[in-house]
């Protein structure tokens, strides 16, 4: 089975992770621009960060047969540094049209301050101008009201819900997000956002339409095999295969493919010129070459615990 | 045949011949907008929109068009260029013509935030821009890349290094090509720019590889033969005794290009290969062909 991880901060991950992800069936990842764990203090740091995720990180992923896409945006925490935020808003148009940029994101609220609100709105306008989808980060704290507010603001700006992915959902937010016509993404992130047993319950209850699963793996204790493990667990627990394919592959492709920057052919039929540039081809799909690793359970290193299926 | 056309006019002609009317109109409009604009915003949008509006198909030039390219600028080899790349370069050549001083700053800034395909276009086109110390510095930056495709945009099929690199930068480009498993034969001026310092560096590199039980690419010896010292001859002899037929042939070709009289004695030790070199069936081109067909 092929998987897409539509939210993975690969810039914080090792080559072991890439290798394990490729072995588990991940063919494409989307890397949202985000908070790097401590505040950036100059717009220059932002420029170099965005350059990395459109450049070197894509090359790194390609070496493992994984296609790499990204989203660009000013995250909600750093929206509170007004000088930085102004600088970032000025340079964003320069990055939003780069190859493989599939959305403006992840944007939204953290503490729901006035500055967060201001730059969220400005970025929605930019997405509208450039006709790009939007990836919304819903807040960790006061999540339910923050999620509702994010959608209210989108509608105030005349955004089309079918081009907006609301991420980091849980049992409390999913109903409203789906009812209002948005895509609902779930981050299988240990201990905080969502575990995969809970996720399977949600799939059993809500079906697979407009739902997608991601790992949100980053510099914290997180799980790059989140999508693959959730798929396996869902199948074991009786979720129909076509639903698993939708939430772990097809819906992400349909939602972010609206950017015109992400096509199934990118990994199924890469142009020869691409193989000469950033993409080495996926041994799982392409045969003809020795596989990078036999399967997820054999993937080094063992600390990734590919056998340990449950993510709590 | 009159072949006095500029790269800019050729790019424009090739795109005109290939693009549907609406895409060609977009490109013309974009060139006008960029020429008139006082800020870089229009330029960023034009370069970002080029693949979206025009697609990324191969330019697929005919042999006649490729020889036009060579006539317009010696060494210019756009054989695997793409439509969007050609359009991006056309925009930049127009700006360079308009105002060279500003252009250097603009291009450096574009390179600093380029994605991979943009980097490839800018570096491949570098020889066609008016030469300046600024651009030369940017080329040095590009050579430090970890992305092999970007490195090869500079090193392969590009007249810039041969024309403008000093020996130090040249030698390090060759050495880096070996380190990142890039081929040497697509480097323009490979034989002309060989030098004693490079021969020394490459022999040291071969010793490192041997010490680690790693193979040495036969292409390496191509830059050693003409400048080999008596000590380096021993390395060539060792490589000529390799069980790997291609390594053997590479070393033998290098020996045949070595002016030292002792080289002859190592060549005659392998009469069959010596004969193949003498009658022209074994050349660097033939070896390259064999190398490509065994490893690609």
Q: Residue B192: helix, strand or coil by DSSP?
A: coil
Tokens of A102: 């599939």
Q: Is the pLDDT of residue A288 over 50?
A: no
A310 vs B245, higher pLDDT: B245
pLDDT-derived band at A287 (thresholds 50, 70, 90) equals: very low
Domains and CATH numbers, chain A: 3-303 (3.20.20.140)
User: Among all chains, which residue has been given the structure tokens 């396996």?
Assistant: A232
Residue A278 to residue B41, Cβ atoms within 8 A: no
Q: How far is A48 from chain B (nearest CA, A)?
A: 8
Q: How far is A172 from chain B (nearest CA, A)?
A: 39
Q: pTM for this structure?
A: 0.86
Q: Is the pLDDT of residue B296 over 50?
A: no
Contacts of A273 in chain B (CB under 8 A): 58, 80, 82
Kindly report the number of other CB atoms within 10 A of residue A13's CB atom.
23
pLDDT in tens, A220-264: 999 999 999 999 999 999 999 999 999 999 999 999 999 999 999
Q: How far is A94 from chain B (nearest CA, A)?
A: 6
pLDDT of residue A274: 57
Mutate which: B84, B113, B119, vs A, most A CBs within 10 A: B113
**What is the layout of strands, in order, in the sheet containing A164-167?**
A3-5, A26-32, A67-72, A101-108, A134-137, A164-167, A183-187, A211-214
Q: Does A20 touch chain B (CB under 8 A)?
A: no
Kindly report the number of other CB atoms within 10 A of residue A216's CB atom.
27
Q: Is the pLDDT of residue B291 over 60?
A: yes
Q: How far is B156 from chain A (nearest CA, A)?
A: 13
Q: Residue A50: helix, strand or coil by DSSP?
A: helix
Q: Is the pLDDT of residue A280 over 80?
A: no
Smallest Cα–Cα separation from A217: which of A14, A45, A62, A72?
A14
pLDDT-derived band at A307 (thresholds 50, 70, 90) equals: confident
Residue B115 to residue A100, Cβ atoms within 8 A: yes
Mean pLDDT of chain B: 93
Residue B52 to residue A95, Cβ atoms within 8 A: no
Q: Does A44 touch chain B (CB under 8 A)?
A: no
Nearest by CB to A95, from B113, B120, B149: name it.
B113
Kindly report the number of other CB atoms within 10 A of residue B279's CB atom.
8
pLDDT in tens, A74-130: 999 999 999 999 999 999 999 999 999 999 999 999 999 999 999 999 999 999 999
Mutate which: B42, B44, B79, B116, vs A, most A CBs within 10 A: B116
Q: Does B112 touch chain A (CB under 8 A)?
A: yes
Cα torsion B187, B193, B197, B199: sign:
positive
Enclosing H/E stretch for B249: helix B245-256
Q: Does A184 touch chain B (CB under 8 A)?
A: no
Backbone angles phi, psi at B49, to 5 degrees: -80, -20
pLDDT of residue B144: 92
Mutate which: B115, B123, B146, vs A, most A CBs within 10 A: B115
Residue A99 to residue B113, Cβ atoms within 8 A: no
Tokens of A289: 């070459």
Tokens of A68: 């790499």
Percent of chain B residues topping a pLDDT of 90: 87
Q: How far is A90 from chain B (nearest CA, A)?
A: 10
pLDDT-derived band at A297 (thresholds 50, 70, 90) equals: very low
Q: Is the pLDDT of residue A302 over 60?
A: no
pLDDT of residue A269: 85
CB A217 within 8 A of CB A17: yes
Show which of residues 192-231 on chain B sit within 8 Å of chain A, judged by CB atoms: none
Per DSSP (E only), the strands in chain A are 3-5, 26-32, 67-72, 101-108, 134-137, 164-167, 183-187, 211-214
Q: How far is A79 from chain B (nearest CA, A)?
A: 22
Contacts of B48 in chain A (CB under 8 A): 96-98
Residue B146 to residue A56, Cβ atoms within 8 A: yes
pLDDT of residue A301: 46
A180 vs A35, higher pLDDT: A180
> What is the rounded average pLDDT of the residues B51-61?
93
Long-range contacts of B254-263 (CB under 8 A, 24+ apart): B254/B221, B254/B222, B254/B224, B254/B225, B254/B228, B255/B225, B256/B225, B257/B225, B257/B226, B258/B225, B258/B226, B258/B228, B258/B233, B259/B226, B260/B228, B260/B229, B260/B230, B260/B233, B262/B230, B262/B233, B263/B228, B263/B233, B263/B236
Residue B116 to residue A51, Cβ atoms within 8 A: no
Q: Does B186 touch chain A (CB under 8 A)?
A: no
Q: Does B278 touch chain A (CB under 8 A)?
A: no
pLDDT of residue A305: 66
Show which of residues 244-263 on chain A sit within 8 Å of chain B, judged by CB atoms: 260
Residue B51 to residue A58, Cβ atoms within 8 A: no
pLDDT in tens, A149-196: 999 999 999 999 999 999 999 999 999 999 999 999 999 998 888 899
List, in order, residues 6 or more apart from A198 with CB less than 8 Å away: A170, A171
Nearest by CB to A98, from B80, B115, B149: name it.
B115
Closest Cα in chain A to B50: A97
């Amino acid at each position: 089975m092929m998987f897409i991880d539509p939210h993975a901060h690969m810039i914080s991950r090792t080559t072991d992770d890439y290798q394990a992800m490729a072995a588990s069936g991940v063919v494409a990842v989307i890397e949202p621009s985000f908070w790097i764990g401590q505040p950036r203090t100059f717009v220059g740091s932002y420029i170099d960060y965005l350059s990395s995720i459109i450049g070197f990180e894509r090359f790194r992923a390609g070496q493992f047969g994984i296609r790499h896409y990204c989203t660009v945006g000013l995250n909600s925490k750093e929206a509170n540094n007004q000088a930085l935020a102004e600088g970032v808003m000025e340079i964003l148009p320069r990055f939003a049209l780069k190859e493989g940029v599939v959305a403006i994101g992840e944007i939204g609220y953290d503490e729901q301050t006035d500055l967060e609100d201001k730059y969220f709105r400005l970025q929605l306008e930019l997405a509208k101008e450039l006709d790009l989808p939007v990836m919304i980060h819903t807040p960790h704290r006061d999540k339910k009201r923050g999620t509702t507010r994010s959608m209210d603001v989108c509608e105030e700006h005349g955004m089309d819900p079918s081009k907006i992915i609301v991420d980091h959902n849980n049992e409390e937010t999913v109903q409203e997000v789906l009812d209002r016509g948005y895509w609902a993404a779930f981050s299988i992130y240990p201990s905080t956002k969502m575990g995969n047993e809970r996720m399977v319950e949600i799939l059993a209850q809500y079906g697979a339409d407009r739902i997608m699963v991601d790992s949100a793996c980053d510099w914290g204790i997180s799980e790059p095999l989140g999508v693959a493990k959730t798929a396996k667990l869902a199948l074991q627990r009786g979720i129909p295969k076509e639903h698993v394919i939708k939430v772990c592959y097809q819906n992400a492709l349909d939602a972010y493919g609206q950017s015109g920057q992400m096509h199934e052919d990118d990994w199924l039929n890469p142009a020869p010129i691409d193989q000469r540039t950033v993409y080495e081809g996926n041994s799982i799909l392409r045969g003809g070459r020795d596989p990078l690793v036999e399967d997820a359970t054999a993937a080094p290193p063992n600390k990734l615990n590919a056998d340990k299926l449950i993510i709590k | 045949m009159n072949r006095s056309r500029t790269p800019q006019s050729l790019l424009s002609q090739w795109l005109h011949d290939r693009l549907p009317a609406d895409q060609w109109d977009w490109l013309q409009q974009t060139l006008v907008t960029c020429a008139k604009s006082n800020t870089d915003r229009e330029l960023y949008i034009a370069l970002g929109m080029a693949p979206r509006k025009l697609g990324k198909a191969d330019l697929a030039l005919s042999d006649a068009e490729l020889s036009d390219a060579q006539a317009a600028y010696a060494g210019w080899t756009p054989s695997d260029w793409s439509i969007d790349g050609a359009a991006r370069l056309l925009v930049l050549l127009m700006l360079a013509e308009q105002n060279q001083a500003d252009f250097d700053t603009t291009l450096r800034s574009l390179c600093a935030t380029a994605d991979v395909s943009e980097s490839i276009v800018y570096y491949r086109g570098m020889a066609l821009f008016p030469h300046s110390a600024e651009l030369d510095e940017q080329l040095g930056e590009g050579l430090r890349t970890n992305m092999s495709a970007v490195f090869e945009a500079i090193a392969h099929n590009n007249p810039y290094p041969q024309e403008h690199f000093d020996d130090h930068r040249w030698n390090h480009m060759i050495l880096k090509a070996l380190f990142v498993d890039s081929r040497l034969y697509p480097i323009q001026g490979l034989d002309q720019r060989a030098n004693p310092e490079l021969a020394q560096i490459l022999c040291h590199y071969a010793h490192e590889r041997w010490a680690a039980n790693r193979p040495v690419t036969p292409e390496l010896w191509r830059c050693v033969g003409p400048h080999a010292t008596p000590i380096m001859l021993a390395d060539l002899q060792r490589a000529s005794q390799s069980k790997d037929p291609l390594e053997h042939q590479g070393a033998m070709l290098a020996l045949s290009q070595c002016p030292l009289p002792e080289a002859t004695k190592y060549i005659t030790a392998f009469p069959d290969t010596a004969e193949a070199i003498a009658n022209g069936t074994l050349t660097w081109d033939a070896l390259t062909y064999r190398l490509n067909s065994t490893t690609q």
